[in-house]
Amino acid sequence: TWEGSTDHPDVTIAEKISDTLMDAYMTPEAEGGVSELYIVFTEFINMVRQKVRTLRMLPVELVPLKDGEEFSMHRPDYEAASGPSAALSSTSAVSAREEAVSRSNPEAVEYCFEPSPDEVLDAVLPKYIQSRIHECLLTSAASETASRQNAMHTATDNARNLVDDLTRKLNASRQASITQELTEIIGSADALNNEED
């Protein structure tokens, strides 16, 4: 467990949590590891509304392509914007000839990507998990602060209402006491006047 970091969640706390969770995820289930990681946190929506949310961290869910859609490395917006001036001003490592060939036949030019996808995933995934955990810690801290502020606002309003109610009761009690004293004085004065007559 990690305690005492909810007020000011730091990146180092998120890093410790993500390291522990990644170790548990990479450990086989037979040895006490886990097959899925979920994080439950309070999502900050606005100052009066927060909601509990569950987020699946691992395994990462792949977003399926729409029906008939194929994955492509070529960007349509780049293809439309490229022309003779774009080819000349391009700082890409691909020559103009290779670029023309790749447009006419995208499979004709092969690219060698370094590092390998596995190496990229090994480097990026822990940082992704760490950043998501830090984001959840921050939004939970914001939600907690908003809840505290709302609670203090409600408590202040209740205290004002209580003060007003007690002030009215005090004034009514004081008025009753004054009225009783005046009644006693008037009664005593009447009794003295009756004795003199």
Q: For residues 52 and 42, is the Cβ–Cβ distance under 8 A?
A: yes
Number of residues that this document lists for the chain = 197
pTM beyond 0.95: no
Q: For residues 109 and 94, is the Cβ–Cβ distance under 8 A?
A: yes
Give dist(CA 30, CA 25) in Å, integer: 12
Residue 139 vs residues 60, 132, 144, 152, 176: alpha-carbon distances, Å: 21, 11, 9, 20, 55
Q: For residues 52 and 43, is the Cβ–Cβ distance under 8 A?
A: yes
Query: For every one of its 197 residues, what pLDDT tens digit does the chain have, with 9 covering 90 and above?
Result: 677 677 788 898 899 999 999 999 999 999 999 999 999 999 999 998 999 999 999 888 777 777 766 655 454 444 444 444 443 333 344 455 556 555 656 555 566 777 887 888 888 889 999 999 999 999 999 999 999 999 999 999 999 999 999 999 999 999 999 999 999 999 888 888 887 76
Number of Cβ atoms within 10 Å of the Cβ of 102 = 17
Which of 181, 161, 187 has the alpha carbon at shortest distance from 173? Answer: 181
Which domains, from first to last, does the chain contain?
1-60+94-168 (3.40.1380.10)
Contacts of 118 (CB under 8 A, 6+ apart): none
Per the structure block, which two tokens stand in for 40? 């439950």
